[in-house]
Amino acid sequence: MTIASHLAELQRRHAALDGEIRKALAHPATDSLTVAELKRRKLILKDEIKRLSNGETIH
């Protein structure tokens, strides 16, 4: 996998998580732990995207 394709995949997953968060927040039965976990995963992806964009290696 090239760096560009890996970056594109991370961005796609980040956008998908954003949609999941919006959907979860719109649903009244969603608990706050679920939303927090989705936000945590989104932040991890954001950090990976930033590292990759800056030319650093991903762990």
Is 58 inside any structural domain? no
Model confidence over 39-57: pLDDT tens digits? 999 999 999 999 999 986 6
pTM: 0.84
**How many domains does one find in the chain?**
1
Containing 46, the helix (H) or strand (E) segment is helix 32-53
Is 43 inside any structural domain? yes
Domain that holds residue 41: 3-53
Residue 11: how many other CB atoms lie within 10 Å: 15
Average pLDDT over residues 22-27: 96
SS3 of 15, please?
Answer: helix
